[in-house]
Structure 1
Amino acid sequence: CLEPGTLPEPQLVASFLDLNAPVLARACLLLECAFFVNRCNRGEWPSWMKMNLPLPMQQAEHLTQASSQHIAISISGPAGANSDPID
Structure 2
Amino acid sequence: MALQFLSAQLDQLYARLTVMRLRAQGCQPGRGLRVRGGVPYLRNPGSLVIGNNVRLRNEPTRIRLATVPQGAIILGDEVSLNTG
**TM exceeds 0.5?**
no
Which is richer in helix?
Answer: 1
In terms of Rg, which structure is larger?
A: 1
Which is richer in strand?
Answer: 2
